[in-house]
Chain A
Amino acid sequence: MSEEVLLEARDIEKAYVGSRVLKSVSVALKPGTITALIGPNGAGKTTLFDIIAGFVQADSGVVRYRGEDITRKPAFLRACRGIVKTFQIPHEFGGLSVLDNLLVAGSDQIGERFPASLWSRRATHEQECANTETACGILEFLGLLASRDVMAQTLSAGEKKLLELARALMLAPRLLMLDEPLAGVPLSVGEQILEHLVNIGAQGKTLLIVEHNLEAVMRVADWVYVLVDGELLASGPPSEVQRNEKVQTAYLGRA
């Protein structure tokens, strides 16, 4: 395994109640790039995405991350190692404030250990201060700082989407996985999110994006995988994929 690849999923197979959703799909993500996974509805994009994030177990195939086999690792451990995903439908912690949503995401918190949380007050406090500072930085970067004390459930759809992103950034992920980051948000917010993604990518993070909005994806992605009916139809740089005839008939034509 060379250092050229941050994460690799090889020969992934998955079937639900007899129907094969993924048929021996392989993808590889290079460090510091933005990779997009596109395809029509029901192509198996989200399944592949969830297999990489650890929320779904593949029937067969291997997922390797930084050279290590993580196929059987539960989702939370992958997140601890730097593979952090967001959800297509925002999964905010509704009864918590925006800031608290981010503070929950802080890793290795002393105050979350039991019973240590009861007596290591000072250490907890110091960590909370540091995490609050990081969180406010992220909120400012995403333009959410003004609503830091607002209950997350009262946010607009677009703000919730940004909160998803903010919470994921809190873990300083090596691989940030975004499930349809533009779905369900107004155009202006979508533009804003795209801009943030480019900026995040510029900071050297690796991004994997599942997206429906082709035009947007083609603008930001360095590499594109096209998934149709559980099979990899094409892959390559956006310009090349866009010219691919198979892709045009199978996907672009229908979309």
Chain B
Amino acid sequence: MVAELAQHIVDGVVLGAILALPALGLALVWRIAGFPHLAHGSLMTIAAYAAWLAAGVWRLPLPLAVLFGLAISAVTGVAMHLGVYRHLAGRPMLNLFIASIGVELFLRYGVIFSFGSDFQTFPLPAERGVRLGLVVVRPLDLVLLAVAFGALLGVWWMFRGTQIGRRMRAVSDNASLARLSGISPARIHLIMWILVSVLAGAAGILLGARNVIAPTLGWDVLLLAFAAAIFGGISNPFGAAVGAFLMGLVSQLGIMWIPTSYEEGIAFFLIMIVLLVKPRGLFGEAVRA
């Protein structure tokens, strides 16, 4: 029982680390561009397929393939922004939201069109789990954890240590105030989209390496990522990261009592509970009316 619990905790932490990347991105888009971005999962999927194409078909070395995947998701994200969302700035949120469905459909079925609906896997060497006390850890999971934490630290550093990061935080705190103080929203938006696309792409590649690569890879975890973002309160990107870890833990621990087939349903209940207790998320500040 204890061993099982410990194992679920490990799985939860790994899942949470991966989820933290798109959750952070969703929170940033929600705050800065002003809508829940439904096509975020596609960024993950596309990065995973691009990396797989480079590593599995073109036989490029793995680091190069990963870079290729990240570059493709960054390009996709920027294309979404410049091609669609930028034109809708200032329109009601619903417009952006629905446009993001269109983008999601286009990209998801674009992936199916190009690669078919079959699962793919990365050509990774077979590995054996390493026993660490009570739990068995796959070496890959350690790599995933390291990468995810590295990415989170990178974003944290960017927000604290660089001017553009501080400006982005300023815009996410108060868009109209930031505009008044002369921060160019166009540049912030562009950099924000590159950042969130790379984060989502990294999560997609990590998830693809841990499980399989499928056209709905990103869509399947989107709701969990939304749950994490809401859990953290969308006004606080790092709340979303914390939310993601909790979400990962709860959903993995939940499997112990809830049938595995309902795993995705846990996200819904968590969203509901959080929103009922605190309508602006657990880490969101009360906004002055």
Contact = CB atoms under 8 A, between A and B. Distances in A.
User: Do A and B touch directly, given a CB cutoff of 8 Å in the complex?
Assistant: yes
B289 interface: yes
A56 B286 contact: no
A25 B285 CA distance: 25
B128 interface: no
B289 A56 contact: yes
A179 B225 CA distance: 41
Contacts of A119: none
Interface in A23-56: 47, 50, 55-56
A17 B289 contact: no
Contacts of B285: 17
Nearest to A50: B289
Contacts, number: 9
Contacts of A16: 286, 288
A117 B285 CA distance: 42
| Secondary structure of the B contact surface, majority rule | loop
Nearest to B285: A17
A145 B260 CA distance: 66
A121 B286 CA distance: 46
Contacts of A55: 289
A47 B285 CA distance: 18
A56 to B, nearest CB: 6
Nearest to A55: B289
A215 B289 CA distance: 28
Interface string B263-289: 000000000000000000000011011
A158 B289 CA distance: 24
Contacts of A56: 289
A17 B286 CA distance: 6
Contacts of A17: 285-286, 288
Contacts of B289: 47, 50, 55-56
Interface string B128-148: 000000000000000000000
A16 B285 CA distance: 9
Contacts of B286: 16-17
A55 B285 CA distance: 19
A56 B289 CA distance: 8
Contacts of B288: 16-17
Interface core residue of A16, A47, A50, A56 (most chain B CB under 10 Å): A16
Interface in B75-118: none
Interface string A44-86: 0001001000011000000000000000000000000000000
A50 B288 CA distance: 12
Nearest to A46: B289
Interface string A137-169: 000000000000000000000000000000000
A56 B288 CA distance: 10
A47 B288 CA distance: 10
Nearest to B289: A56
A55 B288 CA distance: 12
Interface string A212-242: 0000000000000000000000000000000
A46 to B, nearest CB: 9
Contacts of A50: 289
Interface of B: 285-286, 288-289
Nearest 8 interchain pairs by C-beta: A16-B288, A17-B285, A56-B289, A17-B286, A16-B286, A50-B289, A55-B289, A17-B288
9 contacts: A16-B286, A16-B288, A17-B285, A17-B286, A17-B288, A47-B289, A50-B289, A55-B289, A56-B289
Given A16-B288, A17-B286, 4 more contacts: A17-B285, A47-B289, A55-B289, A56-B289
